[in-house]
Structure 1
Amino acid sequence: MFSNVAISLYKFDFHSKMEQTMEVIAIQKTALEGMKNELKALLELTENTTQKYLPIFKEEQWLDNQEVCLMMNITKRTLQTYKDKGLLPYSRLNRKNYYKRSDVHALLEAGQPYNTAENGFIHE
């Protein structure tokens, strides 16, 4: 990421009466400015990406795992099985799963999917 930045590091150890070590790292001003510019570009990219996908999340109400389990009166394991079998689509954001409320309602209206033998579900 900082391939065009030359960094010079110097270590100084200062000892206090409590025998704690403080480390000071010196960096060239041009290197610091380069890092700041790279971080600003990364922040801008993140903000642009967020703005790009924001309308998708505003159109539909999204639920997390706990909300879906409560709404459907199922366990987390059953929810995982629904996901594994492709019965309930989901989106993953920041290592967290989200489900469209409309998809959850559609699954509820269809009935409990584990009551049928062809999809391999057995009642809990």
Structure 2
Amino acid sequence: MLYSSTQHAREWISTETNRRLLNWYIDAWRANDKEVKNLLKSTELWFLVVANPDGYQYTFDEERLWRKNLRDNDGDGVITGADGVDPNRNYPEHFAYDEEGSSSQISSATYRGPSGGRSPRRRR
């Protein structure tokens, strides 16, 4: 099971929710909760607490409602509205399918990037 949060930098509550769930499992394990111990012995749980760490930090330091990561799209070394990619719009499946759910405009909050992110390697 993968628990992933904070694709969009400004979604602070998802970070805290995921962190608290992780701590809940740890605390239950330490308290010898039999149900949790049995679950964790038979199931892998992965916690990606912040999937967009640079954008997340930027929301604390610069702009609270920033959504994207901090990819320097124009290469000028300064983060502006023309920078960043929405990581939740950058998956390779149906990348650039249309302009309704994501945008090809770099100034858009839903800018999907120049190409789809890489797919995980398939095991053979």
Structure whose CA Rg is larger: 1
Structure 1 and Structure 2 fold alike (TM over 0.5): no
- TM-score using structure 1 length: 0.22
* Larger proportion of strand: 1
Between structures 1 and 2, the one with greater helix share: 1
TM-score computed with the length of structure 2 as normaliser: 0.22
